[in-house]
Structure 1
Amino acid sequence: MQTNNTNNTNNTNTSVLNKAIIAIAIGLTLSSQQSLAVTADENILITANRSQQQQFLSLSSAYIITSDEIKAMQVANVTDILNTIAGINVVNQGGSGQSSSVFMRGTNSNHTLVLIDGVRVSSATLGSTNFSAISPSQISRIEVVKGPRAALWGSDAIGGVIQIFTKQHAAGEGSVSIGIGSNGFVEGDVAIGLGNEQHSLTISVSSESSDGFNAYHSDPLNDYDINEDDDDGYDRFSISAVGKSEISNTLSLHLASRFESGNSEFDASYPDQPCWNDPATACPAYYANEQDHENYSVKLSSQYQGDNIFSELAIATSQDQGESFGNDTQKSRITTERDQVSFINQYSFTAQSSVNLGLEYYNETVSTNSDLDPWTADIQSWAEDERDVSAVFLQGRHQLGQLLLEAAVRYDDIENLGSETTYNASIGYQLNDDWLVSLNRGTGFKAPTFNDLYWPGSGNPDLKPEEITNTELLVRHHFADNTLDSQIEVTIFDSEITNLIAWAPNEFGLWFPANINAADIRGVEATITADFNRIHNTLAVAYVEAEDANTGKQLLRRPELAATYTIDYHWQDFSFSGMVAYREESIDSGDAKLDSYVLVDLGVSYQATANLSVNAKVNNLLDEEYETALNYLADGTNYKASVTYSF
């Protein structure tokens, strides 16, 4: 059930809903979202229903990556972590610090909602997330929920939701780490916990840089190909502060804040082209080949835990900013600023029944310091540079014996776009303590970006949100005895996406974004974990058919078959880790074929003392030559080594 109302009625609805949210927020001093209430139990899932529940009892396909697993991976990028999950495919245009895209369940790379401590972090102009700006050293855990969750989270949650939680240390505890690697890689991390049991604050600082490598390989048959033969490096600095203050047994205050800045180099120079005003003359075709970014978010919340109620009032502000320059081009800075307010209240009638009521509001503002349309005499910016989004949702859960029921509905009011009503409905049956079967159906949407709607000269203000309807069947099994602890999850899903935005010519031959495409996506995912004799094994396999509904062609950069096996083994003071990943061939622009490939990574960690560990890892051990984006080679065999002192 999705609706899209007219723009004229939308402004009135937005005003009424905004005032209602503000009035309720002012009247409340205690409330909850539970996105920060992460307990020590690694099996507790929060993102799926915006409330705590055992991961095994979740009726949606969900996966948790723990702090220990992230530590064992020894990665420099968040995308390397996500790429080990069934149903996720990562595309890189080069090495670390370069542009990366995350495709979940065959949906587009901007169809996944990304949250950091409950705060939206995507760009409102591009619709994507800068994953290279997130330091893995500051992450305590990652939760991934697959399938549309717009009924709880709103726009962008078409393919799923990724929520990253910032690391916290107990008072007096912390760590210091330094590392080096191939391509001039250098990193340093410091984290410390301050305060006491009632009032605590964790401060983490991370810095890293790399000279990079020349990822782009030119196509000799393309006269308009990039011809910038140089290494593309990057640097990144980040700091986070996460705190909690226990005011009483029932009331607590929370802080989650982060700041990141960095620089990335990339290739963007082309051979001289005919000048637009004099085709007989050759003009240099130089484009910006470097970018600075500066991102931050701050979230303050108050949480109340009563006998049957858990609630939070949260206020957040965030920025996503990128400034492109180089090759004697004008510096061009584009900024997204987002202010958010949420009030969520969960009430438990009994141990088997609960209801979750939420109100949300956020304002998005985009700005630039340059002319977005250089072909005009006047300075041109977006036709609209601000919008308000207001939402209300209701979610309920009930257990009747072995039968589990979940349902959610959400109404989003988006300024100048209209409204969207989305839902999720799930029914599960717990055969016994070890088996769970569930059937899910849900809808989702993605609002067009500011670039799609209002870019000068090419925006289309008549665009509608992209929409998805998804049905899936999930089977989950858990087994544990004195020697083995294992879990198997298999999900079969079928999705239909409509109103997909693509560029097309109008009646005058001018190209504009339009809702002309549709996609049919179906597949099966399986994740198997097994722990025995100090060995942790994970096998993640996905087969996804993602096709253009109009042509039947495979969607770009989405291999049908993907499999990843990871292993961690602990022996005395040593820990060994390994990964084998296979990706089937895929298609890129112009029907170009990207070959299949196999990657092998090996890592080792030695606990020299109770506080000191030495770590080393070799990536792409077989020196596989492959590309996930046309003409962008991935790095060959490379290494990383580090020393960590914990206290």
Structure 2
Amino acid sequence: MTKTYPFSAVLLFCFVLGFSQEKEIDTVYIFDNQLKNSKKFQKIETLTEKDLLRNTTNLSEVLRFQSPVYIKENGRGMVSSPSFRGTTAQQTAFIWNGININSIFLGQGDVNNLNLLGYDQLEIKSGGGSVIYGSGAIGGSIHLNNELSFNKGLKSSLFVEGGSYNTFNSFLKTSYSNDKLSVKVSGNFVKSENNYEVPELRNYVNLNGQYDNRNFNLGAAYKINSKNRLSWQTQIYDGNQHFPTSEFGTKTKYTSNTFRSLVAYDFNSKKVNNSFKIAYLKDEFQYFDNIEFPKTSGGISESYFVKNDINYLFNNKLALDVILDYHFDEGEGYKSGIKNVTRHASSLAGLLKWNPKPQFNFEAGIKKDFVDEITTPVLFSFSGKVKVSGWYSFVLNASTNFRYPSFNDLYWQPGGNLDLKPETSKQLEVGNNFKYKNFKLNITPYYIHLINMIQWLPTSSGYWSPVNTNKVESYGLESQLDFEKSFGKNKTKLSVGYLYTHSKNLETNKLLMYVPLHKIYGNASYSYHFAELYIQAMYNGLTHTTSNEKRSEALNPYFVMNSGVNLQFLKQYQLGFKVNNIFDQIYETTAYYPLPKRNYSINLLINF
């Protein structure tokens, strides 16, 4: 049954607090402390709330236009899955404030059921990270971060937007902090009829494509003293998607409800930094193959996490980081044969950090996971960074990573396979970082070799079952050029990325489905005084949709551009207007599900 939450009370509370005073900013606390260290060695794309507000449709749009991730979306706002470096959605880890939140049933995250607004920061990390983030962090990880600031006083912001296809989006956030206490509350509501048409492509009409969702976040932190801090982060999400159908097809829908809560205790001294976290996650979903009748499938899961991360500094050149992790999962499916199944999983990881000189940084890691009924590999990682000169630095990353089978893989009836092995990979990347005046250039070739890939195949009994079948080889190049310059009241910013991805099934010698060979994405902005103009563009190359590389079934290359303008007035108000798909491009990211042609939105942002 779909749950509702008292958003009217939340919004009223936020409005009551909506009078602010400025104080000098003290410290900013981010719940994922390991991610900051990863930035020394791996290219991590950081998107702020301002960046997210440029693609407010959903998280899929943000990742499509502002990151190297390929997004496979079954129509606007529908089921959506990511792909890093030619890997699958199950090989991408979603990390909420340092905790892996991939579905224990599917082994992946549905991008459009991870609400966009309500996070202070979104970070996209390419490359393996299983030593730190566990199962699924093979191709890359997407980090949904909340932060809490101290000594900023009382601040509020309200964002409202209306757009094509009867789309309405709203977001309200209020925060208060002094030198001891920090509290932040936010709520988001999105609704769309989503009834767009693409008559040039099979006379497509997005019938029964409406969706709505709401999200609530509450965060708090308290400084006990200069060394000890206690913090809490909670999120509630409620979503409703109607899946597109033909004119005479049966209308279907999908509902999802999520509750996440995390408590952290941090101790920091000159020699020791320790972070202790406990978390509780609950996910419930229901699918209706006819919206006029009761649900036909679904499931409910609960997960409990305990994690301790202690970093000991021997001296200013050598440190040891030890991470202990335990989580317990339990789930029950509806009409899937999954009956009250449980899983205990724990891990021990060590990271040795050595910085012999300012221009040298090294880190070596080892990890062992212990999972019920599953034999897991010992994982290794090595990272090294050498600053050759003021304009060039060289980075080497090597790692082994893995993903253990999901509950559906193991227990779905009929078809579940209790003998599955974890997917494991070995990968290597070489980062080349250049810097000249206002320009930054990153060029990173990479190689991934994956074995025991889990794939569902038809059986002689007439049903599908997962097996460890394929070896996959993926290699390619990620590159990004950034430019930023301010002069007077003028400010310009440019970011352009190019990706080459070659991902092949070594058993069949064929390219993997839904992995484009080429992707180019770019974002540019120019602001003067009270006005800002920005442009987004993305080119996606030929994308195969079948395992035999059938050209007639492939998605054709496409180029899509968006543009928007923001006008600031009376200091507290910003009025924005945006045109999506300026050139009316007809394109698909999933076969038979085109995305909208040219469409519009207008928004208002108030800071008070």
TM-score, normalising length from structure 2? 0.89
CA contact (8 A) 1:86 1:563 kept: no
Deviation at 1:417, TM superposition (A): 1.1
CA contact (8 A) 2:282 2:303 kept: yes
1:503 to 433, 453, 456: 456
Distance in 2 (CA, whole Å) between partners of 1:571 and 1:219 is 41
CA contact (8 A) 1:215 1:632 kept: no
1:111 to 75, 80, 91: 91
Amino acid at match of 2:120: S
Amino acid at match of 1:315: I
The residue number in structure 1 matching 2:300 is: 335
1:357 to 318, 322, 328: 322
Which deviates more, 237-246 or 506-515? 506-515
CA contact (8 A) 1:174 1:193 kept: yes
CA contact (8 A) 2:65 2:537 kept: no
Deviations 1:231-277 (A, max 9, x none): 41111111101111011011010111110102110036798xxxxxx
The residue number in structure 2 matching 1:439 is: 396
Deviation at 1:132, TM superposition (A): 1.8
Determine whether 1:617 maps to 2:578.
yes
Structure 2: runs of 5+ lacking an equivalent: 1-24
Determine whether 1:66 maps to 2:48.
yes
Distance in 2 (CA, whole Å) between partners of 1:179 and 1:383 is 43
2:118 to 130, 138, 146: 138
1:517 to 453, 470, 473: 470
- Identity percentage of aligned residues: 20
Amino acid at match of 1:546: S
Secondary structure of the 2:294 match is: strand
Deviation at 1:593, TM superposition (A): 1.0
Distance in 1 (CA, whole Å) between partners of 2:481 and 2:241 is 37
Amino acid at match of 1:516: T
The residue number in structure 2 matching 1:410 is: 367
CA contact (8 A) 1:138 1:167 kept: no
Deviation at 1:214, TM superposition (A): 5.4
The residue number in structure 2 matching 1:378 is: none
CA contact (8 A) 1:216 1:631 kept: no
Distance in 2 (CA, whole Å) between partners of 1:384 and 1:263 is 25
Pairwise CA RMSD of aligned residues?
Answer: 2.6
Distance in 2 (CA, whole Å) between partners of 1:452 and 1:542 is 31
CA contact (8 A) 2:196 2:596 kept: no
Secondary structure of the 2:510 match is: coil
2:34 to 21, 37, 50: 50
CA contact (8 A) 2:30 2:148 kept: no
Secondary structure of the 2:276 match is: strand
Structure possessing the higher relative contact order (Cα contacts under 8 Å, 6 or more residues apart): 1
Determine whether 1:126 maps to 2:106.
yes
The residue number in structure 2 matching 1:11 is: none
Distance in 1 (CA, whole Å) between partners of 2:454 and 2:376 is 18
Secondary structure of the 1:82 match is: helix
The residue number in structure 1 matching 2:237 is: 260
The residue number in structure 2 matching 1:584 is: 541
1:318 to 281, 299, 321: 281
Deviation at 1:444, TM superposition (A): 0.6
Deviations 1:391-449 (A, max 9, x none): 00000111223332111111001111123311111222111243210222111111111
Determine whether 1:93 maps to 2:49.
no
Secondary structure of the 2:388 match is: strand
Q: Taking structure 1 as reference, are residues 389 and 425 closer, same or farther at Cα in structure 2, changes over 3 Å only?
A: same
1:604 to 565, 571, 574: 565
Secondary structure of the 1:208 match is: strand
The residue number in structure 2 matching 1:204 is: 186
Secondary structure of the 1:81 match is: helix
Secondary structure of the 1:83 match is: helix
The 5 Å alignment of 1:235-634 reads 235-267=212-244, 289-325=252-288, 326-331=290-295, 332-368=297-333, 370-372=334-336, 381-382=337-338, 385-401=341-357, 402-480=359-437, 485-505=438-458, 511-533=464-486, 534-589=491-546, 591=550, 592-634=553-595
Determine whether 1:75 maps to 2:93.
no
The residue number in structure 1 matching 2:603 is: 642
Secondary structure of the 1:173 match is: strand
Distance in 2 (CA, whole Å) between partners of 1:313 and 1:563 is 40
Distance in 2 (CA, whole Å) between partners of 1:76 and 1:133 is 12
Deviation at 1:500, TM superposition (A): 0.8
Distance in 1 (CA, whole Å) between partners of 2:198 and 2:367 is 44
Deviations 1:272-313 (A, max 9, x none): xxxxxxxxxxxxx95x71011111210001101101211111
Deviations 1:187-230 (A, max 9, x none): 2211111353311210001111000125799998xxxxx99972
Deviation at 1:319, TM superposition (A): 1.8
1:148 to 93, 104, 128: 128
CA contact (8 A) 1:171 1:197 kept: no
CA contact (8 A) 2:573 2:604 kept: yes
Deviation at 1:46, TM superposition (A): 8.9
TM-score, normalising length from structure 1? 0.83
Deviation at 1:66, TM superposition (A): 2.5
Q: State the aligned residue count.
A: 571
Deviations 1:136-166 (A, max 9, x none): 3312112222111111221110111111112
Deviation at 1:329, TM superposition (A): 4.3
Deviations 1:496-541 (A, max 9, x none): 1110111335576764211011211000010111002410000011
Secondary structure of the 2:495 match is: strand
CA contact (8 A) 1:227 1:270 kept: no
Deviation at 1:603, TM superposition (A): 0.6
Distance in 2 (CA, whole Å) between partners of 1:102 and 1:235 is 21
CA contact (8 A) 1:355 1:394 kept: yes
Structure 1: runs of 5+ lacking an equivalent: 1-37, 221-225, 272-284, 373-380
Secondary structure of the 2:62 match is: helix
Secondary structure of the 1:138 match is: coil
Determine whether 1:184 maps to 2:148.
no
Secondary structure of the 2:511 match is: coil
The residue number in structure 2 matching 1:30 is: none
Amino acid at match of 1:626: Y
The residue number in structure 1 matching 2:211 is: 234
Distance in 1 (CA, whole Å) between partners of 2:382 and 2:464 is 39
Secondary structure of the 2:52 match is: helix
